[in-house]
Amino acid sequence: MADKEKEFRILIAMLFEYHISAPHADFYNITPKVCEAIAKSGVENGIVVVYCPHTTAGITINENADPDVVRDLLIGIGKAFPDRPEFRHAEGNSAAHLKASAVGSSATVIVSGGKPILGIWQGIYFCEFDPPRERTFFVKVVKQASV
Ligand code: ZN
């Protein structure tokens, strides 16, 4: 086996599981948890994947400075994906499913110097669209291979 191949096999990938209470429809800032996972992993350079295993919630990156941005996002998403009488899903939460698909279920961020590369105004959010719920999200930290 070539030396390069050996080095690729020593990738470090650590998985962290977090639980949050989501009592109402909101964007919950989980940036501190993502930073905590990176610190615990000891990874200095690589990538971090934040993943939501739910069908009526999602993960997104957006502004963390002015709370009115999250408020406006919630209003806009609510208007873009209203509940409709023609929806057939028996659980009655198709609008929440639509919002979750629109937002997406994960975010990937570059890790540099032991921190996620985020713009000064950016935060990583867990988006709850079908409250109240007890939710889970996963953070996978992958170390950059040295070659
Ligand atoms: Zn449903």
Q: For residue range 31-90, what is the model confidence (pLDDT) as tens digits?
A: 999 999 999 999 999 999 999 999 999 999 999 999 999 999 999 999 999 999 999 999
Residue 124, CA distances (Å) to 8, 9, 24, 92 in order:
29, 30, 18, 28
In a domain, 33, yes or no: yes
> Could you identify the residue written with the tokens 């009655």?
92
pLDDT at 62: 98
Domain-located, residue 6: no
User: What is the count of structural domains for the chain?
Assistant: 1
Q: Which of 135, 142, 109 is nearest to 31 (CA)?
A: 109
CATH code for the domain in which residue 60 is found:
2.60.120.460
Q: Longest Cα pair distance anywhere in the chain, in angstroms?
A: 62
End-to-end CA distance of the chain: 14
- % of residues, the chain, pLDDT over 70: 92
Q: Which residue segment(s) compose the domain that 52 sits in?
A: 18-143
Domain-embedded: residue 7:
no
> Is residue 75 a part of any domain in this protein?
yes
**Residue 115: inside a domain, yes or no?**
yes
Q: Is the pLDDT of residue 5 over 90?
A: no
Q: 8 pLDDT band (50/70/90 cuts)?
A: low
Chain position carrying tokens 């609510």: 78
Answer yes or no: is 11 within a domain.
no
Q: Which of 45, 37, 56, 17 is nearest to 111 (CA)?
A: 45
Instruction: Judge whether 5 lies within some domain.
Output: no
Give residue 84 CA to ligand 1 midpoint distance, Å: 14
CA–CA separation, 127 and 55 (whole Å): 11
**Ligand 1 centroid distance, CA of 52 (Å):** 15
Q: Using an 8 Å Cβ cutoff, are 121 and 65 in contact? A: yes
Residues surrounding ion ligand 1 at CB below 5 Å:
91, 93
CA 43 – CA 111 distance, rounded (Å) = 8
Q: What is the pLDDT of residue 24?
A: 97
- The pLDDT value given to residue 145: 80
Ligand 1 center to residue 42 CA distance, Å? 38
Q: Which residues pair with 125 in a beta bridge?
A: 29, 60
Whether 9 is covered by a domain: the verdict is: no
Q: What phi and psi values does residue 71 have, to the nearest 5 degrees?
A: -60, -45
